[in-house]
Structure 1
Amino acid sequence: MVDQKDILLDLLTVHSAYDVQAIQRTGDFTFLSKLSGLPQVWKLNENDEPIQFIHAHDRVQSVYHSPSGDRTVVGIDREGNEKQQLYIVGAAGGAPEVLVESMEHFHHCGGWSPDGRYISYSSNRRSPGYFDVFVMDVDTKEVKQVFTHNGNCIPLGWVDEQTLFVNVKETNIDSTIHVVCLQTGNHYQIGDHDVLARYEAPVMKKDGEVGYVLTDENEETLYLSAFSIDEPDELTNLLHWDSWDIDAISLAPKEDVLAFCLNEGGMTKLGMYNTSSSEWEWVENIPNGVIGSMSWRSENALLFTLKTPTEPGDVWEYDRLSGTVTRLTFIGKFETSRNLVEPELYTYRSFDGLQIPYFMYHQGQPDNKPAIIYVHGGPESQIKAEYNPIFQFLVYQGFTVVAPNIRGSKGYGRSYIKLDDADKRLDAVADLASLAKELTDAHQVLPNKIGIMGRSYGGFMVLAALSHYPNLWAAGVDIVGMSNLKTFLQNTGEWRRGLREYEYGSLNMYSDYFDKIAPMNLSENITAPLLVFHGRNDSRVPVSEAEQLVQDLESRDRDVELIVFEDEGHQTSKIENHVALHTKTVQFLNRHLNQN
């Protein structure tokens, strides 16, 4: 008989492949995986077995192969602090050499120029909250500043050898895309200058005349549009769904087809759009799940990574000529056989009549079972139908796990994203209270055995739910969450404060409101047992957010525990910490919700 500890460890340590990148002119590709215990760059050998391609000293966050496939740039941070430094390796891989390094600053790579001579990147070296764009000659290491911005900006790629796409963040969700001439420094904007909107994933045809971009300009959802160099502010709507976002595109080498991903309620549908005829079709025989990255391996072969609720993630390939879909890697293999569950998708009516979607994971029927509500971060993120080891293990132990996309989540239109902005924050907390009632009324879960957990903004929502609706919850787990939006905004990185203020409200205008709703200031209401995790090197949510709340709760003799990972940041990247966090979480929830 398999021990439950072995089952949990198996679920937690199964690996995945993500961020696939084709190596041009070679037929090879790389992907990221934690096969060695930390995210590193891997490829397949002649026997289709994974081998480590780059041996980095810490977590690899990004990979950029040169157009000729002879060199690769990688972004590596230190102990989870997200401050990427850029390094380079040759075609054989191995240990990377320093390319761009200033350990106290962030660097965001914009990839290689088409001739393979330059890379672009942005950095906040001038000031913590200001990012400028630079171009480096990779051979001579000569650096030139080509775009100056008093805010957050990232190069998205090259139009040609002398022109860059640069993304400028305007709000927490909105951005503008500038086309920057490297010789003159002149730039122009894609889309309507007077409309606040999302603009994402620009690509340009080789003739330099026509490009494509995703936007929600004057619409609720992201759609595929075209623009021309002659009239870049005029967008042509090519492909649009009223209810769902197109959230990724990739132009084939022959430029005759655009691959696109439609986010349909947290599940991805892959389609092919013909750039000449404007006709499109779905790619068939792909398991229900989430596509995370795409890269063209050849004129007719599209690589993509796919996660499903029961598959942690692997690399797949779609062949346009045969119409076949093939799984290329088998990284996500379990050591023991698992009876993993697919979620069911429901909606419920919140306190004000708003319909809110949620995924429910359970075995058999949820009647008379304890339940865990999991709240995603962001806030403007989305729970999707992808593998989560804790969901699966809790279900295995008899819990019902519910993952909602409460108001403020993306994927359901622009208006829905903005329903929790500023002083509407507590409406999202009320969504959670309504969900607890939905679970007891519609699914007959045990009303006194409902726990709540979440990461980042989801951690804040856990604390807000415990302090504003204390009688609903039997236990809470807060992972890198905020205990007071006021102190969070005061102490978060300058590079993101303004963007977060657009979502939460500014310190100048909403300081009193933050104090009023802060879990930190309502700690006397928190009576449910609470487990708190944080990373010492978190550059987004300072560890002080956890420390101040736990210290207060301890002074009140509450049941609370804080675990700080000294070598992690906002994410939990190291496999041993990942295992420790979730093992402790399972033990805590079992103890307080009366499971074996």
Structure 2
Amino acid sequence: MAGDTPADISRYLLASGASAPQLSPDGQDVVFRSSITGTPQLWTLPVAGGAPRQLTFGNGVTFARWMPDSSGILYGADNNGDEQESYLFISRDGSSEREIFSATQGGFRSLGDIGSDNDSLFLASTERTGLHYDIYQGSISSGDLQLIFEGNYGNFARALSPDGRYLVVTETVGEDSDYLYLLDTTTRELRVVSQPESRANHGDGGFAWSPDSQTLYMSSNTDREFAAVVAYDVIDGRFESLVESEFDLADVQLCGENGAFLVWTENRNGFDVLGGRHLASGSSIAFPAIPEGVYSLSCSQQSSTLIVGVNGWQTPGDIHAIDLLGGVGKPLVDSNLAGIQVESLVRPESITMVARDGVELQGLLYLPLGGDQASPPPVIFEVHGGPTAQSRASFDPVSQYHVARGIAVFKPNVRGSTGFGRTYVKLDDQKQRLDSVRDLVDMLDFFKTDGRVDAFRAAVSGGSYGGYMVNAVLANYPSAFAAGVSRYGVADWVTALQVASPALKASDRIEYGDIRDPKWRAFYTVNSPIRQADKIRVPVLYSHGVMDPRIDIYETEVMVRTLRANGIEAPYIKVPDEGHGWRKLGNRLFYYRRQAEFLEAHLGIRD
């Protein structure tokens, strides 16, 4: 093991910061989420400076949205991760709070926007059928909900125009793509904005309306490999490309008085870079230096302040305020590293390699500091979920702990991951899914000759879809990895696609095929890990949350029983008060200690 003995894993898990910061419309305060108390809660602080103040104290908060007049915040909370949210209103100072919409059994919601009257709101909900997302208009004061558009599978309310006439609506078309519409809130007529034959994504990170409601700004990869910043003219119905790049652009914001500034993020192999311009002159905005990582943006058209949330490899959650007029920034919230020395944290390196069929693959490699080249470290392949997601340079306390203990961590972006072009993200669709599983083995083979890690002492780990990848690669390539960790992962695609939550069903038909079709049922009957589990020959740690609304816990338990019946070590951790992932600090501390012990035992790490 390289270097000094690291802190206990609890130190890494206690490292904390702010997430999802939002600037109030009047530009005076920021609301953000923090789990420093053990569950996600809302906190606020003034942009001018001062101490953060906790605003909520109940169930874990899932989202927050300022009222247009900055008088208070609408937020969501669910029950132990079941994703069935209640909507609540809390005043700006936290002195009054009330429930607007209670959770409905089996009903899922997705907030769109709040009207300038500070009362009307628009959301998508499955409460009519339990499956299809419809669009509703509600009243915050009365708690009434009125159906205004009947949807089919995934139709979601997004951004409302300032004049209240048009609501942006997206229709899910696969995990990575959608169609784009404008819903007239008065006539309830739906106008097609973009319905490309070749799948595309619109508005990654959100939509921004001009003050006069005539122009809609967004990111889009329609007719191009990488998402650009585009503007849609509502009057003439045309798109104009404003900023293009060889990387994906996202999180488009219109900031400042009369929307003077256009800002966005650029995703360069997992690291974000800020971009922006003055709309009137077209000149670029000069941004001050902020820590590396993944950024979230928020601003107001009443202020020249841009709020940047930073989650980076050495930053669990900073908030920075940048004056777009002067180009000067200041930190509002600094991450708490719980006593971990920042110099001990490892910056990931972007690594590329070529799969056996010629596709270029990428991933992020975390190497222990001060390692001995003559004795390379064992490695954990940590596979992201999704599948349409990307391993990025965000803070990962568990990976940093493993690296401090002398284990390298590699985060693969197999085919089907986002961030590498529209073609790449579709390479795992439907019957090509097993090609992405094979990518893990090709990546491992690359490291056998690369020499930076000991690829003959390798484990594979992942949660959700990443858990499926663990199950699948261990069943299809039994001799590749020495051990596995599957957290709340898919094992039976037939069951998973049948019982998936409505939001997932909306995209699953494109990503995986329609399970109602006998062709796809037959395909997944054969190609599901639950029917291949008897091929697994290495120890696997399994875990699942009882409240999981996305993947049935039954799938994990069948995998455990099958491996144990074959004499394969298969410890199992059932978490009663969690859903799809571990939100609560106590559960995270309990679980990840045992995961670390399991992996170290099977990779030959000893104190």
- TM-score tier by shorter-chain length is over 0.9
Going from structure 1 to structure 2, the CA distance change for 1:305 and 1:474 (only over 3 Å counts) comes to: same
Counterpart Cα distance in 2 of 1:271 and 1:360? 26
Q: Distance between the aligned counterparts of 2:169 and 2:428, measured in 1?
A: 29
Partner of 1:186: 189
Residue identity in the other structure for 1:545: E
Q: Distance in 1 between matches of 2:507 and 2:194?
A: 21
1:63 matched to 2:64: yes
Q: Work out the CA distance in 1 between the residues paired with 2:602 and 2:239.
A: 55
Q: Which residue of 1 aligns with 2:200?
A: 197
Query: Residue in 1 aligned with 2:137?
Result: 135
Q: How many residues align?
A: 592
1:220 maps onto 2:225 in alignment: yes
- The whole-number CA distance in structure 2 between the counterparts of 1:60 and 1:383 is 25
Any conservation in 2 of the 1:163–1:179 contact (CA below 8 Å)?
yes
Map 1:263-302 → 2, pairs under 5 A:
263-281=267-285, 283-296=287-300, 298-302=302-306
Q: Distance in 2 between matches of 1:372 and 1:8?
A: 16
Partners of 2:279 and 2:244 lie apart in 1 by 15
Contact 2:286 2:327 in 1 (8 A): no
Q: Does 1:149 find its partner at 2:155?
A: no
Counterpart-to-counterpart distance in 2, 1:94 and 1:544: 44
Aligned to 1:174: 177
Query: Deviations along 1:283-315, whole A, 9 cap, x unmatched?
Result: 241222110342348522100100111111111
1:408 CA displacement: 0.4
2:32 is matched with: 31
Write the distance in 2 (CA, Å) between the matches of 1:6 and 1:325: 33
Instruction: Please tell me the root mean square deviation across aligned C-alpha atoms, in Å.
Output: 2.0
Mark the CA change 1:11 to 1:118 in structure 2 (over 3 Å): closer, same or farther. Answer: same
Q: Does 1:532 align with 2:536?
A: no
Whether the 8 Å CA contact 2:254–2:299 is kept in 1: the answer is no
For residues 166 and 453 of structure 2, the distance between their equivalents in structure 1, rounded to whole angstroms, comes to 58
Q: CA deviation at 1:336?
A: 4.1
- Alpha-carbon distance between aligned partners in 2 of 1:30 and 1:173, rounded to the nearest angstrom: 29
Q: 1:183, CA displacement in angstroms? A: 1.6
Question: What is the aligned partner in structure 1 of residue 421 from structure 2?
Answer: 413
Query: Is the 2:229–2:241 Cα contact (8 Å) retained in structure 1?
Result: yes
Tell me if structure 1 keeps the 8 A contact 2:311–2:317.
yes
Q: Is the 8 A contact 2:24 2:300 kept in 1?
A: no
Residue 576 of structure 1, CA deviation: 0.8
User: With structure 1 as the length reference, what TM-score do the two structures score?
Assistant: 0.95
Secondary structure of the residue aligned to 2:436 is: helix
Q: Any unmatched runs of 5+ in structure 1?
A: none
Deviates more, 1:333-342 or 1:456-465: 333-342
Contact 1:27–1:298 (8 Å) recurs in 2: no
Specify the alignment match of 2:44 in structure 1.
43
8 Å CA contact 2:254, 2:301 repeated in 1: no
- DSSP 3-state at the match of 1:127: coil
Percentage of matched positions with identical amino acids: 25
For residues 543-564 of structure 1, the C-alpha deviation after alignment (integer angstroms, 9 at most, x for no partner) is: 1121111111122221001111
Amino acid at match of 2:467: G
1:112-144 CA-to-partner distances (Å, cap 9, x unmatched) read 112312122121111111111112222233432
- 1:382-405 alpha-carbon deviations (Å, 9 max, x no partner): 000111011111111111111111
Could you tell me how far 1:94 is from its partner in structure 2?
4.8
Task: State how far apart, in whole Å, the 1-side matches of 2:156 and 2:255 are.
Answer: 24
Tell me which residue corresponds to 1:435: 443
- 1:238 maps to a residue whose letter is L
Q: How does 1:94-173 map to 2 (within 5 A)?
A: 94=95, 96-104=97-105, 105-159=107-161, 160-173=163-176
List aligned pairs for 1:80-95, cutoff 5 A: 80-94=81-95
Matched, 1:565 2:590: no
- Partner in structure 2 of residue 260 of structure 1: 264
CA deviation map 1:457-492 (0-9, x unaligned): 111111111111111111100011111222211222
Secondary structure of 2:127's counterpart equals strand
Match of 2:495 in 1: 487
Partner in structure 2 of residue 456 of structure 1: 464
Letter in 2 for 1:215: S
- 2:331 is aligned to 327
1:394 pairs with 2:397 = no
1:522 to 507, 516, 532: 532
Contact 1:115 1:161 in 2 (8 A): no
- The 2-side partners of 1:326 and 1:443 are apart by 42
**Following the alignment from structure 1 to structure 2, what is the Cα–Cα distance between the partners of residues 317 and 194?**
41
In 2, the alpha carbon distance for the partners of 1:28 and 1:174 equals 34
SS of residue paired to 1:377:
coil
Q: Is 1:53 matched with 2:61?
A: no
In structure 2, the partner of 1:555 is 565
Counterpart for residue 75 of structure 2: 74
The match for 1:584 is: 594
Over 3 Å counting, the alpha-carbon distance change for 1:469 and 1:195 in structure 2 is: closer
Matched-pair contact (CA < 8 Å) for 2:84–2:103: no
Query: Once structures 1 and 2 are overlaid, which stretch shifts more, 399-408 or 500-509?
Result: 500-509
Q: 1:469 & 1:204 partners in 2: Cα distance?
A: 50
**Structure 1 residues 26 and 512: CA distance shift in structure 2, 3 A:** closer
**TM-score normalised over the length of structure 2:** 0.93
Contact 1:270–1:282, Cα closer than 8 Å, also in 2: no
Measured after TM superposition, the shift of residue 146 of structure 1 is: 1.8
Please say if residues 27 and 305 of structure 2, whose CA atoms lie closer than 8 Å, have aligned partners that are also in contact. Answer: no
Contact 1:478 1:532 in 2 (8 A): yes
Structure 2 portions without partners, runs of 5+: none
In the alignment, structure 1 residue 231 sits paired with structure 2 residue 232: no
| 1:20 counterpart residue number | 21
Counterparts of 1:193 and 1:9 in 2: how far apart (Å)?
48
Q: Which residue in 2 is equivalent to 1:474? A: 482
2:567, 2:405 → 1: CA distance? 30
**Which shows bigger deviation, 287-296 or 382-391?**
287-296
The 3-state SS of whatever aligns with 1:560 is: coil
Q: 2:156–2:169: 8 Å Cα contact kept in structure 1?
A: yes
- The alpha carbon displacement at 1:20 in A equals 0.6
Cα deviation, residue 226, structure 1: 1.2
Determine helix, strand or coil for the equivalent of 2:200.
coil
Task: Name the structure 1 match of 2:510.
Answer: 502
Aligned to 2:273, the other structure's residue is in SS state: strand
**d(CA) in 1 for partners of 2:96 and 2:63?**
16
> 2: distance between equivalents of 1:424 and 1:170?
18
Q: Is the 8 A contact 2:60 2:80 kept in 1?
A: yes
Mark the CA change 1:281 to 1:37 in structure 2 (over 3 Å): closer, same or farther: same
